[in-house]
Amino acid sequence: MNRSIATLFDSRATSDGDGVKIRRISTPRDMQTLDPFLLLDEIASDEAADYIGGFPSHPHRGFETVTYMRKGAFTHKDHMGNEGHLKAGGVQWMTAGKGVIHSEMPEQNEGSLHGFQIWVNLPAKDKMQTARYQGFEPNEIPEIAIEGGGIARIIAGSLLGKEGPVINVATAPSYFDISLETGNTIDIPTTEQHNSLIYLYKGRVTVEGQEVTKGQLAQLTPGNQVTISANTFTTDTEAAEFLFLSGEPINEPIAHYGPFVMNTREEIDQALSDYRSGTLCD
């Protein structure tokens, strides 16, 4: 059964960290709707003033953060002394688990920066696990040509005979970055009951005759395949570019406060207490 578009969400301009300008898709209501995905942020600017403040030291508990850079670079440091350098084309999949206190700061003070951060929920049984990281250099992300014009980068899951490097994630996610030439079409197989999303960051695509434009996120109906066509109703000659996300819904209550995502308000209160007392990550 082919998937169609169930709901369209518009991204909105906002800021986070130390004044970093972003486009965000999520409200507390959407977190339950988009399960297991909680939030999607896009950073895209040619102006250093929009991103130079970065994301100084801050905590997380109860979910995973996925950072994917397309242009520019960030340095990641955490409370355990870990340091990572996320370059253009690279990915960091961080399982915060019981707790991480970290910073994410730009390595540049001029030029273009473009990247995405996605929050992926964890089931209750995994929320208090020890923090861990999966980090991948650009050359570790499989890239494959799409017949008829286009390229797919495969971060998690499988597509066109290639497997992404991200493994052992509770929600069995797929995460693809796809560039599709004008007029071309791609069929993406999906697990029927997984929640599947498309985020357009360039151009336009259509799904079952319905258009998605730049800055929109499309949540898809259930099905085992989605057919996506690029720039069908326009004269655009540039490729359409989008993220495809899919994952197994957790179907548990969500309690959210700032950088903490748990199942109950009591667990949020405990996270706040642990952070204030310095025991969040113990």
Judge whether residue 80 has pLDDT over 90.
Answer: no
Sequential DSSP letters for 28-95: HHHHHHTTTEEEEEEEEES-GGGTTT-EEEEEEBSEEEEEEEEES-EEEEETTS-EEEE-TT-EEEEE
Average pLDDT estimate for 14-24: 96
Question: How many contiguous H segments (helices) and E segments (strands) does the chain have?
Answer: 2, 26
Residues 182-220 pLDDT 10s: 999 999 999 999 999 999 999 999 999 999 999 999 999
Average pLDDT estimate for 73-92: 92
Q: Are 229 and 29 in contact (CB under 8 A)?
A: no
Average pLDDT estimate for 232-259: 89
Flag whether the pTM goes above 0.85.
Answer: yes
Give the CA diameter of the chain.
Answer: 58
3-state secondary structure of 217: strand
Write down the pLDDT at residue 189: 97
User: Rounded distance, CA 177 to CA 69, Å?
Assistant: 11
Q: Please, what are the domains in the chain?
A: 5-277 (2.60.120.10)
Residues 105-145 pLDDT 10s: 999 989 999 999 999 999 999 999 999 999 999 999 999 99
